[in-house]
């Protein structure tokens, strides 16, 4: 099934009986629809959607349709839509057909079929059959048009009718059902007449489905070509063939749109030929209890009434004035779904609570061609007449109330009886022409209501005036006049396109109703959804999509329930499957489509073009893509603004507009065919390029979108590349999307230099994003391998250097430092041969990092020094970053290497220089990582203030970039700073955040040993020695096969300290062994910064042995080493400890 909202389809078809006596649809009984070959679900024009099973008049042989082998019936007259479409409908279709042609429409399709029609043809004379069928078609035509459906085709023995196309109706499915029920009644009477007069059995069956169709051309004869989407028409035909004589079967798609408005009987699941899954079928049995969307909300359970305090105050004030004898008319105006009816409902409840009589009437979308429907509803309420009431009893109520109110109206009772559907068999109304009858009725009704208003305080509520028929319009005008000077309030509501002359009266005021604000919408959604943790981001997503429209919100939530995204019930929903995109619900789509369809041709074209441009658009851009004069365009925009489709959001330097509601823009866009949209997208792209030659980088993403939708593949790839390069690393997630689209657009082809270049550039950039976004090893390797192939194809050696270099960085971040060194070495070899100094510098920088992680400090420092002598890259020499960025990292690594090898004074100068260079780049990523290096230097020197400052900045910049790797590194730097400051719990929180990021991505393994080291130290700080030992042992298990000597050294130190902290004297041998290993690792790695730590541990051993002299000696050694290295922070801490121990000794001595 299509994911888009379905159209509603009704079909009427007279056919021979199926071979299956139960009326099921089998392989030998194909529907009378489709291409005639197989299942009948293929797309095609209307002329091919049905086979005309016709003969020339009078011919009654047993020929069959050459396509579907159905027996043919005589069709007395070939009909075209212009012959049977009412004039008012024909005029509307023709006046708007240019805007209707080539559009997607959501409709309901009805098929009608005479059961046993071939047997009937065998039994009676051809001329008599002609007369019977002619009358049959007349009944069908009248019933379809009564509810503003259109008969798209006569099928020889029936019809196919559409509701919702070519003219859109928001209640197309309801109209189809009303029409089907009406036809059932009419045809039942006709069948009884035939049975009584001729003994002929005449049985009809019907089928209804809702789905999408594409409107094709509409001829002068009103014949409409269309293409069925999916199985829209075919399933309607299947429903008809399944139906028993005298029944109406609905598909599940149609049932969803009309449930509650009609009584339906669930017939269960049916296997349908041509469909892979069974379909639930329903039997339409009659009109249901619901009349409006508000009734449906009532049935589901009304949501909390929120955000309408100001509007309710306006209504209360008007009511108070009316109750003092100053009649008031208040018109609530708003778009569909904003809450007009709900506001009126809540106000009516308040009125009834105060003992004020409220009389209600509702205009119906399908009742615009039926005069006085709202007036009838109001009068029946006034007289207390029930729909099923006995006519005689109803006449007694009417007569009694009339005589009590206005005795002089007794002569008009026959006319009133007749109008209310309970005519007096003994007294016919005086014969009058239609106009005189209407004037007489209006006079009687107005006088009755005026008399009632003089007797009591009352509120009249008349809803949905935008659907009011012309006769009821006259009544409303008289009603407004009649209430003047009475204790009456008339409350009405309507949409922005409604206006009436009586609105100029002094006692009329208009009350605009706006969408719910964010706070009210949040409260509304809270009541609707609940507060389960799984819903965390969903309410905001729904609010942004629905823009405060309560009806849209409710329908979106219901669609998520129907689709299985949400489970549970009101206020207790849970999100069980992610919501990637919120589609426009069928009900909402129909409302918006119908409103758009009411626009004049020119306004509709402008709105559709604007929808293609986007949510926001300028008048200048529209003028360039539309063949309209400036005056014509301005007039259309003014009309659309007045009707509240769009609003003006800027006037300088040119007028700019935006859609009032985002869903209006989406519906206006999706109703257009892809081919037509593509042409306009192409014009928009060309116009944007011409209008903003200096802003191509900034507009690249927008240009890419329009070129892609226009089908201009290489042009779209070009603009996606420009957009991605312009974004760079400022938003890596967005850049990733653009590069992925570039690859999708060009495919794997190497048939042109352009495609090779786009593919190569995209893969180079994707490798830059690989370690930042957490690509898997397999994905990064595939990108690298294909990139190398393309680079060789393009004979682009610098690109091969870059690919090796970027892949080396990815391997390093993934924890494979051997692989990092190997690929970086290959990049360095190639770049040296090419003489590209920038790439040579960057390649060696990656090698420095690999050696540093493996604890080969001397080699790393030597390589760092030699790399520093390479000149910075000239402009344009490198594919990525810049020379300042490379230099900042290089100097930062040198600072750490110097500090680790005991030259902290020199390291301090280098780290300050690295920080200065990073600030010059103004790149959050570079600055963030260098801040992290500053923290590592501060930890080695014991500078708490410096560590906290740079750790905080590293975390803040990481949050700014939202790059997973930088977030993990930033929180880890902050955690290390907090450890140095002995803020143990803060450190644990920061480190756990790091852990969550690392665990979510397999390619950040290089950070895991650092994280485990810091976690172990944090747990030592809080006294959890067992946990510290656990982490230390995990570090050793990871470093045993990776030769990560610095991390092994740290793990050994932690294990010794943990054993000492737990006073485990029985572990003396293990402690000595651990210290011996630490000494050995310090010597092998030249990590002299750790020598003082060994003396501190020896001091702790001495303290446990109650040997103060030896303790003082070891502390003195640690102080001397730290002081010589330049680790002033650590030296100060030890000096304080020495002074404390000395004072303690003196106190004990005295």
- 359, 378 in Cβ contact below 8 A? yes
- 303, 554 in Cβ contact below 8 A? yes
- pLDDT of res. 704: 95
User: How far apart, in whole angstroms, are the C-alpha atoms of residue 335 and residue 643?
Assistant: 9
Mean pLDDT taken over the chain? 84
Q: Does the bond joining 162 to the residue before it have cis omega, within 30 degrees of 0?
A: no
- pLDDT of res. 41: 27
Confidence category of residue 51, pLDDT binned at 50, 70, 90:
very low
Tell me: the pLDDT tens digits for 830-857?
999 998 888 899 999 999 999 998 889 9
- 849, 838 in Cβ contact below 8 A? no
- For residue 68, pLDDT over 70 is answered with no
Looking at 213-227, 430-444, 780-794, which range is the least confident one?
213-227
- Where exactly are the structural domains of the chain? 8-256, 308-512, 518-588, 599-691, 890-1022
- pLDDT of res. 1002: 64
User: How far apart, in whole angstroms, are the C-alpha atoms of residue 324 and residue 486?
Assistant: 8
890-1022 shares the fold of 308-512: no
- pLDDT of res. 309: 93
Tell me what percent of the residues of the chain surpass a pLDDT of 90.
46
- pLDDT of res. 1149: 78
- pLDDT of res. 61: 34
- pLDDT of res. 932: 95
Confidence category of residue 94, pLDDT binned at 50, 70, 90:
low
Q: Which residues contact 1098 (CB under 8 A, 6 or more apart)?
A: 1075, 1110, 1114
User: How far apart, in whole angstroms, are the C-alpha atoms of residue 279 and residue 272?
Assistant: 7
Q: Which residues contact 727 (CB under 8 A, 6 or more apart)?
A: 734, 735, 738
- For residue 60, pLDDT over 70 is answered with no
- The DSSP-derived string for 1069-1136 is HHHHHHHHHHHHHHHHHT-GGGHHHHHHHHHHHHHHTT-HHHHHHHHHHHHHHHHHHT-HHHHHHHHH
Tell me: the pLDDT tens digits for 1026-1036?
999 999 999 98
Nearest to 698 by CA among 681, 722, 721: 722
Burial of residue 969 (CB within 10 Å: 0-12, 13-18, 19+) is buried
- pLDDT of res. 493: 93
Looking at 307-316, 636-645, 867-876, 999-1008, which range is the least confident one?
867-876
- pLDDT of res. 442: 85
- pLDDT of res. 610: 96
Tell me: the pLDDT tens digits for 945-984?
999 999 999 999 999 888 889 999 999 999 999 999 999 9
- 556, 582 in Cβ contact below 8 A? yes
Helix H or strand E segment including 467: none
- pLDDT of res. 1069: 80
Confidence category of residue 748, pLDDT binned at 50, 70, 90:
confident
CATH no., domain 599-691:
1.10.10.10
- pLDDT of res. 62: 35
Domain 890-1022, what fold?
1.25.40
* CA 461 to chain CA centroid, nearest Å: 37
Q: Which residues contact 826 (CB under 8 A, 6 or more apart)?
A: 804
308-512 falls under which CATH superfamily?
Answer: P-loop containing nucleotide triphosphate hydrolases (3.40.50.300)
User: How far apart, in whole angstroms, are the C-alpha atoms of residue 796 and residue 790?
Assistant: 8
User: How far apart, in whole angstroms, are the C-alpha atoms of residue 1031 and residue 1012?
Assistant: 6
Looking at 53-62, 145-154, 624-633, 757-766, which range is the least confident one?
53-62
Domain 8-256, what fold?
Alpha-Beta Plaits (3.30.70)
- pLDDT of res. 77: 43
């Amino acid at each position: 099934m299509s994911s888009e909202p379905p159209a509603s389809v009704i079909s009427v078809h007279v056919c021979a009986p199926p071979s299956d006596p139960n009326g099921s649809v089998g392989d030998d009984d194909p529907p009378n629809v489709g291409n005639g070959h197989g299942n009948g679900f293929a797309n095609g024009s209307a002329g091919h959607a049905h086979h005309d099973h016709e003969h020339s008049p009078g011919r009654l042989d047993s020929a069959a349709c050459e396509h579907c082998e159905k027996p043919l019936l005589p069709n007395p007259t070939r009909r075209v839509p212009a012959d049977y479409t009412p004039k008012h409908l024909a005029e509307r279709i023709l006046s708007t057909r240019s805007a209707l042609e080539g559009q997607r429409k959501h409709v309901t399709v009805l098929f009608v079929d005479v059961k046993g029609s071939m047997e009937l043809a065998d039994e009676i004379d051809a001329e008599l059959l002609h007369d019977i069928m002619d009358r049959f078609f007349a009944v069908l035509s009248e019933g379809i048009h009564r509810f503003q459906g259109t008969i798209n085709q006569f099928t020889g023995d029936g019809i196919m009718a559409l509701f919702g196309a070519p003219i859109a109706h928001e209640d197309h499915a309801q109209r189809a059902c009303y029409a089907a029920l009406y036809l059932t009644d009419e045809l039942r009477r006709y069948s009884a007449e035939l049975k009584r007069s001729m003994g002929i059995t005449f049985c009809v069956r019907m089928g209804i489905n809702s789905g999408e169709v594409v409107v094709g051309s509409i001829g002068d004869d009103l014949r409409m070509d269309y293409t069925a989407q999916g199985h829209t028409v075919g399933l309607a035909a299947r429903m008809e063939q399944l139906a028993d004589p005298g029944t109406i079967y609905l598909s599940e798609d149609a049932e969803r749109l009309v449930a509650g408005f009609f009584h339906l009987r669930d017939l269960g699941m049916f296997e349908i030929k041509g469909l892979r899954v069974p379909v639930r079928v329903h039997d339409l049995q009659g009109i249901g209890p619901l009349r409006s969307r508000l009734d449906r909300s009532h049935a589901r359970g009304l949501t909390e009434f929120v955000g309408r305090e100001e509007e309710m105050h306006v209504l209360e004030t008007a009511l108070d004035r009316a109750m003092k004898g100053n009649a008031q008319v208040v018109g609530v105006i708003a778009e569909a779904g904003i809450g007009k009816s709900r506001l009126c409902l809540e106000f009516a409840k308040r009125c009834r609570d105060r003992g004020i009589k409220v009389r209600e009437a509702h205009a119906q979308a399908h009742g615009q061609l039926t005069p006085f429907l709202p007036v009838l509803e109001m009068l029946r309420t006034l007289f207390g007449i029930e729909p099923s009431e006995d006519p005689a009893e109803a006449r007694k109520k009417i007569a009694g109330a009339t005589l009590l109110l206005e005795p002089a109206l007794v002569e008009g009772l026959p006319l009133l009886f007749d109008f209310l559907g309970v005519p007096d068999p003994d007294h016919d109304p005086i014969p009058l022409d239609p106009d005189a009858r209407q004037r007489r009725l209006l006079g009687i009704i107005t006088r009755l209501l005026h008399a009632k208003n003089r007797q009591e305080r009352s509120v009249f509520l008349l809803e949905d005036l935008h659907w009011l028929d012309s006769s009821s319009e006259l009544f409303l005008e008289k009603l407004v006049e009649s209430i003047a000077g009475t204790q009456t309030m008339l409350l009405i509501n309507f949409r922005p396109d409604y206006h009436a002359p009586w609105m100029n009266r002094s006692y009329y005021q208009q009350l605009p109703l706006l969408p719910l604000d964010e706070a009210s919408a949040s409260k509304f959604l809270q009541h609707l959804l609940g507060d389960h943790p799984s819903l965390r981001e969903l309410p905001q997503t729904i609010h942004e999509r629905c823009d405060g429209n309560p009806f849209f919100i409710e329908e979106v939530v219901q669609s998520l329930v129907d689709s299985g995204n949400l489970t549970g019930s009101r206020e207790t929903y849970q999100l069980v499957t992610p919501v990637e995109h919120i589609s426009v619900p069928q009900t909402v789509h129909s409302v918006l489509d119908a409103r758009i369809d009411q626009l004049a041709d020119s306004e509709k074209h402008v709105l559709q073009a604007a929808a293609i441009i986007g949510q926001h658009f300028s008048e200048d851009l529209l003028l360039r893509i539309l063949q309209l004069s400036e005056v014509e365009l301005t007039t259309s925009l003014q009309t659309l603004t007045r009707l509240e489709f769009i609003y003006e959001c800027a006037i300088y330097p040119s007028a700019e507009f935006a859609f009032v509601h985002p869903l209006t823009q989406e519906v206006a866009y999706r109703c257009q065919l892809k081919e037509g949209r593509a042409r306009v997208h192409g014009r928009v792209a060309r116009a944007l390029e011409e209008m903003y030659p200096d802003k191509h980088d900034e507009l690249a993403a927008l240009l890419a979108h329009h070129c892609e939708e226009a089908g201009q593949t290489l042009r779209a790839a070009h603009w996606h590349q420009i957009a991605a390069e312009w974004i760079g690393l400022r938003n890596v997630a967005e850049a990733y999307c653009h590069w992925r689209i570039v690859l999708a657009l060009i495919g794997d082809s190497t048939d042109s230099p352009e495609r090779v270049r786009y593919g190569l550039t995209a893969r180079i950039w994707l490798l830059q994003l690989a370690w930042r976004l957490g690509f898997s090893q397999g994905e990064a390797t595939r990108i690298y391998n294909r990139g190398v192939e393309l680079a060789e194809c393009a004979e682009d050696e610098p690109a091969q250097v870059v690919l090796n270099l970027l892949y080396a960085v990815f391997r390093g971040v993934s924890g494979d430092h051997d692989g990092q060194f190997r690929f970086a070495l290959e990049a360095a070899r190639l770049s040296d041969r090419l003489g590209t100094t920038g790439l040579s510098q960057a390649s060696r920088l990656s090698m420095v990092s690999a050696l540093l992680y493996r604890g080969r400090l001397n080699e790393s420092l030597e390589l760092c020094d030699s790399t520093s002598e390479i000149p910075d890259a000239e402009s344009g020499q490198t594919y990525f970053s810049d020379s300042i960025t490379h230099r900042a990292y290089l100097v930062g690594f040198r600072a750490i290497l110097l500090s680790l090898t005991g030259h902290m004074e020199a390291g301090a100068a280098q780290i300050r220089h690295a920080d200065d260079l990073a600030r010059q780049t103004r790149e959050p990523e570079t600055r963030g990582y260098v801040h992290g290096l500053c923290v590592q230097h501060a930890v080695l020197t014991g500078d708490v203030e410096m560590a906290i400052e740079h750790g905080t900045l590293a975390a803040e910049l990481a949050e700014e970039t939202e790059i997973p790797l930088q977030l993990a590194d930033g929180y880890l730097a902050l955690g290390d700073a907090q450890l140095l400051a002995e803020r143990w719990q803060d450190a644990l929180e920061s480190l756990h955040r790091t852990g969550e990021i690392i665990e979510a991505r397999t390619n950040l393994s290089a950070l895991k040993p650092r994280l485990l080291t810091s976690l172990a130290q944090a747990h030592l700080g809080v006294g959890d020695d067992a946990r510290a030992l656990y982490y230390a042992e995990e570090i050793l298990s990871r470093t045993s096969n990776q030769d990560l000597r610095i991390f092994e050294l740290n793990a050994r130190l932690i294990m010794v300290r943990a054993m000492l902290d737990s006073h485990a004297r029985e572990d003396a041998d293990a402690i000595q062994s651990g210290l011996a290993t630490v000494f050995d690792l310090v010597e092998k790695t030249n990590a002299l910064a750790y020598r003082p730590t060994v003396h501190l541990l020896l001091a702790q051993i001495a303290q446990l042995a109650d040997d103060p002299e030896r303790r003082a000696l070891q502390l003195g050694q640690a102080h001397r080493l730290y002081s010589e290295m330049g680790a002033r922070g650590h030296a100060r801490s030890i000096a304080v400890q020495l002074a404390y121990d000395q004072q303690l000794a003196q106190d004990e001595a005295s």
